[in-house]
């Protein structure tokens, strides 16, 4: 899957986009996709409760989302490598449009569950194609040694900024509609109760997803891929999956990246599960705690965006992407440790230290991500790039699910936080020694009608394959 020259058609047909234009479009796609999801964060549980669902049913809805995303992560990554980035992204947008519509209007449990399942499928579909399109386009324009960290950092920052803005909008719109009884009551009366203030963010998110689909179809050119059939598509996806699963076994650097993603999953699970309870305990009521947590979540997304923006600077300061990952994970360990050491007191000083720890966790994760992916893309060629990103995402999600269950079963106190810190520390220690260049590359996964790939119409050179992992630009 890595190391071989890519056929010329893989690097052709990107509309003649230069690196800066590709970066702007990648940033825009990242922002548009995640903005509706951010809008659903603040109101999701409250909307389902308002529709008459119990907490067990609400937990089931979110389980449907998580399990669907995890189950489809690798198959959909392979699909992107077979049929192209743009169609898979467009399908993801259409699925999210349908999902947000069902969630915003659905009063029955089956409709909400279906919406959450479609959202999980869209999440799996979207986990690699946009980034893979950006890297393919930059490599087509400037070659395999082109700078990737800046664009990856800005895309990650756009994602975090979209989540932060979406959280604020999602929480603020129902509150604004509820300031005066007129608008909320008019919505409910006009629609027969289908639309209530809490459902407005989801419906607005559906509109944004429509814009996302139109933008993807118009702004992300890619090579004309060989004509294929449904049978060949279905046959090509398992081969791409198998090649993705072999990545970690055959390449020590990619194995480090996957294990680091797992450590990040443990950190995020602890933060997302344990922080709301601490906020409620600090404020004295669940409602006030929820408001505080919404503010913290927004701040966390902004810190992640800042960390992503700082990723190239961290790499230059530390001497390369590998050292940057080590330093960034060290910041995450410090943040989790501070959160663990302050669990037994609510004093102003302890609260300040805990907030500092929360900020450091997201800042460190934000700085680590672009540098990890810079290394990944230098090890993996275009034929399996989206699959590799899906394997990385799957590593994070599976460990996050297990770590969340474990943290929930442990007694309250510093132990869950410190165990998460230990997991991240173990991931950081993987980067103490620089990775050696690969001794051999695994075969690329077969692509349908590979022999039919046309020569580069522009006369350009094929992608020369990945450089050694430690060669930072």
Among 1-15, 23-37, 162-176, the minimum mean pLDDT is found in 1-15
The predicted model scores a pTM of 0.66
At a CB cut-off of 8 Å and minimum separation 6, what does 102 contact? Answer: 111, 112, 114, 115, 118
Query: 10 Å Cβ neighbour count for 181?
Result: 9
pLDDT score recorded for residue 18:
79
Helix (H, G, I), strand (E, B), or coil: what is residue 193?
coil
Residues 381/251, Cβ–Cβ less than 8 Å: no
Q: What gap in Å lies between CA 314 and CA 96, rounded to an integer? A: 35
Band (17; pLDDT cuts 50, 70, 90)? confident
- The CA-atom distances, in angstroms, between 437 and each of 3, 179, 253, 373, 434 are 11, 61, 9, 17, 9
Residue 463, strand partner residues: 6
Residues 153/316, Cβ–Cβ less than 8 Å: no
pLDDT score recorded for residue 1:
38
Query: 10 Å Cβ neighbour count for 227?
Result: 9
Residue 94 burial (10 A CB sphere; 0-12, 13-18, 19+)? middle
Band (122; pLDDT cuts 50, 70, 90)? very high
Of the candidates 130, 401, 380, 135, the residue with the CA atom closest to the CA atom of residue 255: 380
Mean predicted lDDT score pLDDT of the chain? 77
- The CA-atom distances, in angstroms, between 337 and each of 157, 220, 267, 333, 354 are 25, 43, 11, 6, 9
Query: 10 Å Cβ neighbour count for 375?
Result: 29
pLDDT score recorded for residue 180:
65
| pLDDT higher than 60, residue 452 | no
Q: What gap in Å lies between CA 306 and CA 134, rounded to an integer? A: 21
Of the candidates 385, 363, 367, 366, the residue with the CA atom closest to the CA atom of residue 376: 385
Residue 6, strand partner residues: 463
Among 60-64, 202-206, 215-219, 226-230, the minimum mean pLDDT is found in 226-230
Directed axis angle between helix 19-41 and helix 286-318, to 10°? Answer: 160
Selected residue with higher pLDDT from 243 and 467: 243
Of the candidates 22, 31, 21, 24, the residue with the CA atom closest to the CA atom of residue 208: 31
Of the candidates 439, 423, 246, the residue with the CA atom closest to the CA atom of residue 333: 423
Q: What gap in Å lies between CA 385 and CA 2, rounded to an integer? A: 9
* DSSP conformation letters of 144-186: TTS--HHHHHHHHHHHHHHHHHHHHHHHHHHHHHHHSHHHHHH
pLDDT score recorded for residue 438:
54
Band (117; pLDDT cuts 50, 70, 90)? very high
pLDDT score recorded for residue 79:
75
């Amino acid at each position: 899957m890595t190391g071989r020259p890519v056929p010329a058609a893989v690097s052709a047909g990107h509309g003649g986009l230069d690196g800066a234009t590709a970066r702007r479009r990648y940033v825009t796609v990242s922002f548009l996709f995640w903005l509706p999801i951010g809008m659903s964060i603040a109101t999701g549980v409250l909307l389902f409760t308002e529709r008459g669902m119990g907490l067990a049913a609400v937990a089931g809805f979110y389980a449907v989302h998580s399990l669907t995303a995890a189950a489809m992560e690798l198959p959909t990554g392979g699909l992107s490598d077979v049929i192209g980035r743009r169609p898979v992204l467009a399908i993801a947008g259409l699925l999210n449009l349908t999902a947000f519509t069902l969630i915003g209007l659905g009063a029955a449990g089956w409709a909400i569950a279906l919406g959450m399942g479609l959202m999980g499928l869209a999440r799996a579909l979207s986990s690699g194609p946009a980034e893979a399109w950006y890297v393919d386009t930059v490599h087509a324009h400037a070659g395999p040694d082109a700078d990737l960290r800046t664009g990856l950092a800005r895309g990650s920052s756009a994602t975090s900024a979209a989540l932060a803005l979406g959280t604020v909008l999602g929480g603020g719109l129902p509150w604004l509609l509820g300031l005066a009884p007129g608008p909320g009551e008019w919505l409910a009366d006009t629609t027969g109760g289908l639309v209530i203030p809490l459902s407005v963010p989801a419906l607005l998110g559906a509109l944004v997803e429509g814009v996302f689909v139109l933008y993807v179809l118009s702004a992300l050119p890619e090579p004309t891929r060989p004509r294929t059939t449904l049978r060949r598509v279905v046959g090509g996806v398992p081969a791409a999956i198998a090649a993705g699963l072999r990545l970690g076994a055959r390449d020590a650097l990619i194995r480090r990246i996957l294990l680091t993603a797992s450590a990040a999953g443990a950190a995020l699970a602890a933060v997302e599960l344990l922080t709301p309870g601490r906020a409620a305990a600090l404020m004295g009521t669940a409602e006030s705690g929820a408001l505080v947590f919404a503010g913290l979540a927004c701040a966390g997304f902004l810190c992640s965006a800042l960390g992503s923006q700082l990723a190239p600077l961290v790499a230059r300061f530390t001497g390369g992407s590998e050292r940057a990952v080590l330093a960034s994970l060290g910041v995450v360990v410090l943040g989790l440790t501070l959160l663990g050491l302050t669990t037994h007191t609510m004093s102003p000083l302890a609260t300040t230290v805990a907030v500092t720890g929360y900020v450091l966790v997201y800042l460190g994760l934000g700085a680590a991500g672009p540098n990890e992916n810079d290394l990944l893309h230098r090890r993996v060629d275009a034929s399996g790039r989206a699959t590799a990103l899906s394997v990385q995402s799957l590593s994070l999600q599976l460990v996050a699910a297990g770590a969340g269950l474990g943290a929930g079963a442990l007694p309250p106190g510093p132990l869950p936080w410190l165990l998460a810190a230990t997991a991240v520390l173990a991931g950081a220690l993987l980067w103490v020694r620089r990775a050696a260049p690969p001794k051999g590359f695994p075969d690329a996964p077969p692509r349908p009608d590979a022999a039919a790939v046309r020569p580069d119409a522009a006369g350009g050179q094929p992608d020369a394959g990945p450089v050694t992992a430690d060669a930072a630009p």
